[in-house]
């Protein structure tokens, strides 16, 4: 099983390296894809079975967390990127859909799914909607606290006009950040409701998934916008913003198992 998991990660990283080969840095793209594939190992092992179901869990994460949310942040703080924003978004979407399809096919091909009788509890639709909004607000708070610390002490020299951009947007800046938190929560909702893990295991897996997909993986590759130090700073910054969002989303949207709640009652009745 361990060898098959390694193959899933290594082979799962190849599509990103091949699709992005024209940009150079083949090895870095492969490493980025391998790390990204590793974040989906819990989905391969404990997620839904079948290529289409796997794709339905993986594709939203890549399309929204890896692409849309990072693209929107780049367009916001790098105005010159708006010139080709639509082209970049379309190209990125095609790349990530190819990667999602490859990962979705690899899981059943390598027979990674583990057998378990665990059932996943779901909340009511109204509760889910309310909690998704709560997660969006929580993300904006993480962004405010950790983003401000990072900017003031580490990245202000790289983005001298960033504070002015935020001030010009006024309240809309925070509407954008809340919307990003909501979108990322929606993106991982299929994973939260299909992972056959306990509540805390799911929360940690989702936290790592949002961090890797939205920060660690894309920032491993050298690019023209950021130097090595700048990218490493942002990797840590996004860890402090995205990982807590994933943990909170997992804990809020996955109710406690009725079976685990019933056990203490049964034990108490036996006495």
Summarize pLDDT for 204-224 with one digit per residue, the tens. Answer: 999 999 999 999 999 999 988
Average pLDDT of span 230-246:
95
pLDDT, tens digit (0-9, with 9 covering 90-100), for 4-32: 999 999 999 999 888 777 777 889 999 99
pLDDT of residue 259: 53
What DSSP assignment string belongs to the chain?
A: -HHHHHHHHHHHHHHHHHHTGGGS-HHHHHHHHHHHHHHTHHHHHHS-SSHHHHHHHHHHIIIIIIIIIHHHHHHHH-GGGGGGHHHHHHHHHHHHHHHHHHHHHHHHHTT-PPP---------HHHHHHHHHHHHHHHHHHHHHHHHHHIIIIITTT-TTHHHHHHHHTHHHHHHHHHHHHHHHHHHHHHHTT--S-HHHHHHHHHHHHHIIIIIHHHTS--SS--HHHHHHHHHHHHHHHHHHHHHHHHHHSPPPHHHHHHHHHHHHH-
What is the percent of the chain where pLDDT is above 70?
A: 94
pLDDT of residue 191: 96
Q: Mean pLDDT over all residues of the chain?
A: 89
pLDDT, tens digit (0-9, with 9 covering 90-100), for 38-96: 999 999 999 999 999 999 999 999 999 999 999 988 888 887 778 888 888 998 999 99
């Amino acid at each position: 099983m361990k060898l098959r998991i390694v193959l899933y990660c290594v082979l799962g990283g190849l599509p990103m390296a091949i699709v992005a080969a024209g940009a150079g840095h083949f090895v870095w793209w492969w490493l980025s894809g391998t790390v990204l594939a590793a974040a989906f190992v819990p989905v391969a092992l404990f997620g839904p079975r079948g290529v289409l179901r796997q794709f339905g869990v993986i594709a939203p994460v890549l399309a929204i967390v890896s692409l849309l949310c990072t693209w929107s942040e780049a367009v916001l703080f790098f105005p010159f990127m708006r010139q080709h924003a639509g082209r970049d978004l379309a190209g990125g979407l095609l790349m990530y859909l190819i990667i999602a399809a490859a990962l979705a096919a690899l899981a059943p091909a390598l027979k990674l799914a583990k057998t378990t009788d665990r059932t996943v509890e779901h909340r009511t639709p109204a509760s889910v909607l309310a909690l998704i909004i709560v997660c969006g607000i929580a993300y904006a708070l993480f962004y405010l606290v950790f983003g401000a610390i990072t900017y003031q002490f580490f990245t202000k020299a790289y983005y001298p006009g960033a504070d002015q951009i935020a001030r010009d947007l006024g309240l809309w800046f925070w509407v954008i950040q809340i919307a990003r938190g909501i979108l990322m929560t929606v993106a991982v909702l299929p994973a939260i409701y299909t992972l056959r893990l306990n509540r805390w295991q799911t929360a940690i897996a989702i936290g790592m998934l949002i961090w890797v997909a939205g920060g660690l993986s894309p920032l491993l590759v050298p690019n023209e916008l950021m130097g090595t130090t700048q990218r490493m700073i942002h990797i840590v910054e996004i860890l402090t913003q995205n990982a807590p969002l994933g943990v909170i989303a997992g804990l809020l949207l996955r109710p406690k198992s009725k079976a685990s709640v019933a056990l203490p009652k049964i034990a108490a009745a036996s006495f």
